[in-house]
Amino acid sequence: MKRHLSALLLMFSVFALAQIDEKKLDELIQNTLKTFDVPGMSVGIIKDGKTVYAKGFGVASLNTKAKMDENTLVGIASNSKGFTGTALAMLADEGKLSFDDKVIKHIPEFRMYDPYVTQEITIKDLITHRAGLGLGQGDLMFFPEGGNLTVNDIVHNVRYLKPENTFRTTLDYNNIMFIVAGEVIHRASGLTWAEFIEQRILKPVGMNASYGSYSRAKKANVKNIIEAHAPVDGQAVPVPHDWNETANAAGGIISNITDMNTWAEFLMNGFTTKDGKKLVSDKQIQQLWNLHINTPVALKNANDSNFAGYGLGWFLTDVKGHKQVYHTGGLIGTVTQFTLIPDMKLGIVVLTNQQSGAAFSTITNTVRDSYLGIADKNWLKTYGDRMAKVNADYEKGKKEVFAKSDAFKKDKKLQPKPEQYIGTYRDNWFGDIILSQENGKLRIRCKNSPRLKGDLLPYSHNTFIAKWDDRSYDADAFVILNYDEKGKATSARMKPISDITDFSFDFEDLDLQRVD
């Protein structure tokens, strides 16, 4: 009798852990929106093949005040990378490519900076962040939105990106290689990346409200879609949607909680659709969800993790003895998170219309911990306190930089004369940056990224601050000039004035040589 009672209690305990307290989760989400100034958020949970939670909170737009719900479309950003990996796996099953194919087999004109790497780099290398390029290196070719460079331009310009790491030794997150992978899909299938994703994945899986790109969603005249929001002067404000069409393979998909729950179910059901069609073989799934490049894990850590790294379009780690497959995504004005624990048949999706990663982490960690049977760690307070301090430190640092600029501007004798530095500076992969005088003001603009323009503020004898017109970027940068013996600037380099700047503003990777 005691044995049966123990078994019954165990069954009850497991059952209890497999539930969520819907009311408490609703309250947590509402409080998270307030804490991190997020206008809208949608959250989905799938467990054991069933959707147990799918809700939207707040507003999709501060302009229209339209409500955010489970069907509101959001740019999932880099969560699109898992779709790119899946597309390549499908083409591998069809014999149109292999993950071990050399990239030049499919794109003969492709070149890396190092001739050896050009000959050896494979499709697998493209989507594992191990090609040797640094964090975000080259992203300025498509980021922020509105740039002039095409996919073919980007594929060509990769040859000018001097790697920061040795080939296949380091995981440094990079979008440019996924753009190249998207072009492999195009050439192997005859479809654009967005066409392939929609026709071969989204529709068969049942993600009927989703689109392969923002422009395709807008052409369909979709109404229930977010506006992006970013903090400006400490308050979230609407900002333009930001994702360049050239970078769709790295982050272009537009989806919602309803469809992303369907995606989670499909993946955990062995990449099999609801009507029983298996889109990816087990052989290829093993490739997608196996480590191909690892990152160090602390010997002692809160999740008892033993490994971490990247598969083919997915981050991988273990949490309390369970394998976790996950990714995040970020654009200017929106961030998202997608988490699977396959052996528990658990999927958690968080989509937002503001760029606070602390917001999605609060929800994901709380939900995941509840299913793992971990006591409530009050992630909202942890992240809230942490971000309050971090943001205060960032703001203090930026104010100090601008205060120094204001003080330097008062001493005209120390400032270089415009004729010493006004002109055009060229980087091989990014193009021209023009320093000029317009209506009595010093200005900076980037030829291939027209939205990247602003005031040029004196900072020291050889340094200016590029203060961008679009204040939502939070990416003001130092422009550091090198002068010859005659006092004429011959080259320049750049770097953000604050660590808060998104890594995709990879100003440090520019090598600007004056050309006039």
pLDDT tens per residue, range 471-498: 999 999 999 999 999 999 999 999 999 9
**For residue 34, what pLDDT is reported?**
97
- Average pLDDT on 399-419 reads 92
Per-residue pLDDT tens for 338-370?
999 999 999 999 999 999 999 999 999 999 999
Percentage of the residues of the chain whose pLDDT score is greater than 70: 96
Tell whether 276 is covered by a domain. yes
Number of domains in the chain: 2
Cβ neighbours of residue 114 closer than 8 Å, sequence gap 6 or more: 132, 163, 167
* Type of residue numbered 197: I
Whether 440 maps to a domain, the answer reads: yes
Per the domain annotation, does 400 fall within a domain? no
Are residue 350 and residue 414 in the same domain, yes or no? no
Q: What is the average pLDDT value for the chain, to the nearest integer?
A: 94
pLDDT at 20: 76
Which residues are bridge partners to 386 per DSSP? none
- Which whole number is the average pLDDT over 458-475? 96
**Global confidence as pTM:** 0.94
pLDDT score of 286: 96
The whole-angstrom separation of Cα 205 and Cα 212 is 14
**Are the C-beta atoms of residues 150 and 249 closer than 8 Å to each other?**
no
Q: What is the pLDDT of residues 196-251, one digit of tens each?
A: 999 999 999 999 999 999 999 989 999 999 999 999 988 999 998 767 889 999 99
Collapsing DSSP states into helix, strand and coil, what is residue 167? coil
What would the mean pLDDT of 302-315 be, rounded to a whole number?
Answer: 95
pLDDT score for 411:
84
The enclosing domain of 455 has a CATH number of 2.40.128.50
Q: How far apart are CA 400 and CA 497, in angstroms?
A: 10
Report if residue 480 sits inside a domain: yes
Are 324 and 419 in a shared domain? no
Q: Do 331 and 460 reside in the same domain of the chain? A: no
- Which one is predicted more confidently, 226 or 14? 226
Distance separating alpha carbons of residues 237 and 501, to the nearest angstrom: 18
In this structure, are 441 and 306 located in the same domain? Answer: no
Section 423-452 average pLDDT:
97
pLDDT at residue 4 greater than cutoff 50: no
Average pLDDT over residues 38-65: 97
Does residue 126 lie in a domain region?
Answer: yes
Q: Is residue 494 part of a domain?
A: yes
Report phi then psi at 241, rounded to 5: -55, 140
The band of 44, judged by pLDDT with boundaries at 50, 70 and 90, is very high
* Residue 17 reports pLDDT greater than 50: no
Residue-number span of the structural domain to which 444 is assigned: 410-514
Buried-exposed string 197-208: b where 16+ CB fall within 10 A, e elsewhere: bbebbbeebbbe
Average pLDDT over residues 47-51: 95
Percent of all residues in the chain with a pLDDT value above 90, rounded to a whole number: 90
- Please tell me the predicted confidence (pLDDT) of residue 6: 36
Last residue of one domain, picked from the residues 354, 375, 396 = 354
Mean per-residue pLDDT for 413-421? 91
The reply to whether 316 falls in a domain is yes
At residue 19, the pLDDT reads: 64
Residues 334, 208 within the same domain: yes
Both 421 and 339 in one domain: the answer is no
Tell how far CA 458 is from the center of its chain: 33
Q: Which pLDDT does position 354 carry in this prediction?
A: 96
Q: Based on the domain organization, do 347 and 452 belong to the same domain?
A: no
Asked if 305 and 417 sit in the same domain, the reply is no
Residues 6+ apart with CB under 8 A from 130: 167, 168, 169, 170, 171, 292, 293, 310
Q: Are residues 341 and 214 in the same domain?
A: yes
Helix (H, G, I), strand (E, B) or coil at 376: coil
List the CATH number of the domain containing 347. 3.40.710.10
Residues 299, 203 share a domain: yes
Q: Please state the rounded mean pLDDT for residues 308-333.
A: 96
Q: For the residues 430-437, what does the mean pLDDT come to?
A: 98
CA-CA distance, 395 to 401, in Å (whole number)? 10
Q: Clarify whether residues 420 and 340 are in a common domain.
A: no
